[in-house]
Chain A
Amino acid sequence: MVSMTLSLQKAVVKRRGKTILGPVDLDLKEAQFTIVLGPNGSGKTTLLRVLHGVERLTNGTLSLSKSNEDARQEQAYVFQSPIMLRRTVRANLAYPLELLGRPKSEIETKVQRWAHRIGLEDALERHAPRLSGGEKQKLALARALIREPEVLFLDEPCANLDGRSTREIETLLIAARAQGTRIIMTTHDMGQARRLAYDIVFMLGGRVHEQGAAAGFFDAPKTQEAGAFLNGEIVE
């Protein structure tokens, strides 16, 4: 897969006069599986939305190897609270492919495959908004992966999931990664971060406080705040 540029220069997001992100300089060119860590309200969601191009920058630039629109076509995003179309599970899975005008047979095959992978093959005709929270999260993930995106953003995809569902999702993510999908994900689960991360972006107060390879970050964090965060202390 062609390597894809994804970088921010002096990116700032202000909302109602308050700076909620930045200034941030970030280059995810070599990133393979990036985990974004940080306390609540530190700007993780905002950072992901900016990178995906759904949140407008007040200042600074987002650099992509393609135009914004084309780049988003190759990206997928799983939101912090899953958004279900008011349709069946089947129709939810098919939707991203229908938008691209793919042939019916291809859509049908992929829908079956992904429903099977997330264990919802018997729920295809159910109304998606009535699924359980965990099922919705899995469906949102499958709907994101069904286009085989180059870049996948995940905003706490395993919040509220039990151990088994979490492992199922991690397996899917590792498989996607092996297929060449670049993953950028936030989590509050340190065990998960250790299991999955190639590199870490540690956010604090709307800024990237520390960034580096996962091994180095977990064994010897460079900043005092990151160390404290890893020890489970409250960092502000």
Chain B
Amino acid sequence: MSDIWAGLEAAFWLIVTLDGDLVEITARSLHVSLSALIIASCIALPFGTWLAIRRFRYRRTAIAVLNALMGLPPVVVGLIVYLLLSRTGPLGVFGLLFTPTAMIIAQVIIITPLIASITHQAMRELWAEYHDLLISLNTSKRQRIMTLIWDGRRALLTAALAGFGRAIGEVGAIMIVGGNIDHATRVLTTAIALETGKGDFALALGLGFVLIALALAVNILIHSLSQTEQEGRW
């Protein structure tokens, strides 16, 4: 028990004094997860919308595959990316293993299906609602997509935030492909795992608080967005 109290106290000071290690690790976490989020969103938002609007032959199959990919265990994703990037792997020449780039790649693979699936769901509902009106008003394809994206913008943002929440809290895949190297690939989650193992609860708890704060901020954002959705503001 006293361990925890001492840890809490130390964590408090680490945060208040903006401890160098803490700041560095937090910044790297944000860098990796935000990069992954931006890349994944660029793929998943248009793809999810497209999947909702377009009818094509293997649409059902595509949706089923997407939902299956959503359930991929991060550790397995990490393993596969590791094999692809390792020096003997097909992409080994780029020397990306144990770099933040490798971690970004792994996170993109983990969160793209999630964002695409939430996007698809929301856009399909909106499209079903608007379909007849938009056809009746003789809208062009472009006008339809713009209308759907604009009126579905909260849902799209919620999807992106959900992806970010998953990325920032993920540990299995980035541990494998990043290697948790100090001053190189160490991020919040992997550092917590390491410091806990070493028994340095102060740093582990400090990092934990930062992580919780980030996750909480994302959740509050999602919540307030779905709130405004009902009230129809912005």
Known contacts A86-B232, A127-B231: does B137 contact A96 (CB below 8 Å)? yes
B216 within 8 A of A: no
Q: Is the CB of A83 within 8 A of B132?
A: yes
User: Could you tell me if B232 and A72 are in contact, using CB atoms closer than 8 angstroms?
Assistant: no
Chain A residues within 8 Å of B232, by CB: 86, 88, 127, 129-130
* A193 CB, min distance to chain B CBs, angstroms: 24
Contact assessment for B151 and A54 in the assembled complex, using a CB-CB cutoff below 8 Å:
no
CB distance from B226 to the nearest CB of A (A): 13
Instruction: Indicate if A198 sits at the interface (CB-CB under 8 A).
Output: no
Is A79 within 8 A of B132, CB to CB?
A: yes
Q: Which of A54, A86, A127 contacts B132 (CB 8 A)?
A: A54
CB distance from B131 to the nearest CB of A (A): 9
List residues of B (207-234) whose CB comes within 8 Å of A's CBs: 231-233
Q: Which of A69, A72, A87, A130 contacts B136 (CB 8 A)?
A: A72
Q: Tell me how many residues of B have a C-beta within 8 Å of chain A.
A: 16
Most chain A C-beta atoms within 10 Å of own C-beta, residue among B137, B151, B233: B137
Within 8 A of B (CB), among A95-143: 95-96, 99, 127, 129-130
Contact with A along B110-143 (1 / 0, CB 8 A): 0000000000000000100110110111110001
Please report whether the interface of chain B is mostly helix, strand, loop or mixed according to DSSP: helix
Q: Nearest Cβ in chain A — how far from B116, in angstroms? A: 22
A83 touches B138 (CB 8 A): no
The one of B130, B135, B136 that contacts A85, using a Cβ cutoff of 8 Å: B130
Q: When the two chains form their complex, are residues A85 and B151 in contact, meaning their CB atoms are under 8 A apart?
A: yes
A77 close to chain B: CB less than 8 A: yes
Q: Are A83 and B139 within 8 A (Cβ)?
A: no
A73 and B137 alpha carbons, distance in the complex (Å)? 7
Check A99 against B136 for contact (C-beta < 8 Å). no
Contacts of B132 in A (CB 8 A): 54, 77, 79, 83
A72 touching B138, Cβ below 8 Å:
yes
Cα separation A99 to B143 with both chains bound (whole Å): 8
B137 in contact with A99 (CB, 8 Å) = yes
With A and B bound together, what is the CA distance between A75 and B231 in angstroms?
A: 33
Report A117-171 residues with CB < 8 Å from chain B CB: 127, 129-130
Residues of A close to B126: CB separation below 8 A: 86
Q: Which residues of A sit under 8 angstroms from B151, Cβ to Cβ?
A: 85-87
Name the CB-closest residue of B to A54.
B135
B residues 132-158 near A (Cβ < 8 Å) are 132-133, 135-139, 143, 147, 151
**In the complex, which residues of chain A have a beta carbon less than 8 angstroms from the beta carbon of B139?**
99
* A50 in contact (CB, < 8 A): no
A75 to B133, CA, bound (A): 12
Bound CA span A88–B234, Å: 10
Is A197 in contact with chain B by the CB < 8 A criterion? no
Smallest Cβ-Cβ distance to B139: which chain A residue: A99
Minimum C-beta distance from A108 to chain B (A): 20
Question: In the complex, how many angstroms separate the beta carbon of B168 from the nearest chain A beta carbon?
Answer: 30
Q: Which residues of A contact B143 (CB under 8 A)?
A: 99
Q: Which residues of B lie under 8 Å from residue A130 when comparing CB positions?
A: 232
Is A76 at the interface (CB under 8 A from chain B)?
Answer: yes
10 A-B pairs (CB sep. < 8 Å): A54-B135, A69-B138, A73-B138, A79-B136, A85-B151, A86-B151, A95-B137, A127-B231, A129-B232, A130-B232
